[in-house]
Amino acid sequence: MRVLILAAGLGKRMKSKYPKVMHKIMNKELVNLVIETAKKLNPSKIGVILGYKSELVEKILPTDVEIYYQDKQLGTGHAVMSAKEFLNDEDILILYGDTPLITETTLKNLINKHKETHADATILTAILDNPSGYGRIIKDKDGNFIDIVEDADTNNEQKNIKEINTGFVIFKGSKLLFGLDKIKPNNKQGEYYLTDVPKHLDYVETYLLEDHSEVLGINNRIQLAEAEKIMRKRVLNKLMINGVTIIDPETTYISPNVEIKQDTIIHPMTFIFGDTTIGEDCEIGPMTKINNCKIGNNVKIIRSECEEATIENNASVGPFSRLRTGTVLKENVKIGNFVETKKSIINKNTKAQHLSYLGDATIGENTNIGAGTITCNYDGKNKHKTFIGNRVFVGSNSSLVAPLKIEDDVLIGAGSTITNDIPKGSLALGRARQINKENWVYQKREKGE
């Protein structure tokens, strides 16, 4: 089986300078959500048809999909014609880049019925109380498929039909090629309808969808928000059923790819995106944002932001910490309030509790980073690294000017600016000598100065 995704539309009702399929729900583009679902079906190939501002959409697509172009918007049938070289004797599943709520389960059921019945095409349909706007499924008295009639082309009798075409369909590849050669733009829109293909085939089956929300197409920002809410609820319900406590689902946002193990607690106003994994017995939030992180067991992250970081067991982060790309926190590390890290490895039992910046640094075990400490890693042109050993005590308000190596068991006096390497067991002081001028203030006052 191959999957072909139609994603060429302009999306005028989005009122946007970007193609509709580039808009996001759950922090991921609509078309990429559809591609992720398609990949779960293990197709031999995935093709995507682009049109409006295709150069923008291309930049966000994975490299393992094939791209085709629909230069003129002449309907869904014309879109598929634009990818004729993608079609062969394999089955072809048609998906849509603006309909991201379709589930793997529904598509597998559709595919299974198609294979079991050996149909030329199998169409996913739904029963709606108000079918207005959708193409109607026309059947004979025995329930056999006859045709699909688009809403704009229905007569008064056909308008009352409740079974609608969702747009999702799987074809035998050879039959789809045959049908595409038969269709004409003989409709009010003057377009080539993909829905005209089935009436030219010998045997067409339908599969009735249970959850109508799966085929919600996104045409404006209101529907974008509705889709976000539906997908978010699905994700949160699955997590809660599997043993994750979510204090307030209404204010919690978690992407579908996120994995969280049992007995972890997610507090309100927490955002967890990307391919994040979180272990057992963690406490995340409130007011926390995590993206593409690997988090171990019994980790606490409070009111903080973490981006592409690794946080091992029993570590704690926050409040008001920022872990940037490349941060690795080993077991029992404590990162406290207003601490920022970037491309830094911080080893077991080390603490940086207050007001520090640790960039391009490797820090050993059982080390204490005092409040106000910064690694001065950037000289205006290049980034330099700082190495800090085990059992080091860095006094408050210290500036560590990279490149720099601080060996084990060093003590750095508060307020120091360190520019040279420090050998093991040393006391390092890098500050001006204090001078007290007694009675200086009183003398100034007497002179009226």
Q: Give the residue numbers marked as catalytic.
A: 354
Closest of 419, 417, 422, 393 to residue 407, by C-alpha: 422
Rounded to whole angstroms, what are the CA distances from 112 to 61, 205, 212, 215, 419? 28, 12, 20, 19, 68
CA Rg value for the chain: 30
Closest of 375, 380, 426 to residue 401, by C-alpha: 375
Hunting for tokens 């941060």 — which residue is that?
Answer: 327
Which strands make up the sheet holding 270-273, listed edge to edge? 252-254, 270-273, 288-291, 305-307, 322-323, 340-342, 357-359, 374-376, 399-401, 417-418
* Whole-angstrom distance, CA of residue 351 vs CA of residue 444: 45
Show the beta-strand stretches assigned E in 364-443. 368-369, 374-376, 386-388, 393-394, 399-401, 404-406, 411-412, 417-418, 427-428
* Whole-angstrom distance, CA of residue 295 vs CA of residue 182: 56
* Whole-angstrom distance, CA of residue 337 vs CA of residue 240: 30
Which residue stretches of 160-208 are H helix? 173-180
**238 Cβ neighbours under 8 A, 6+ residues apart:** none
* Whole-angstrom distance, CA of residue 240 vs CA of residue 249: 10
**256 Cβ neighbours under 8 A, 6+ residues apart:** 26, 33, 36, 231, 234, 235
Residue 379 in 3-state DSSP? coil
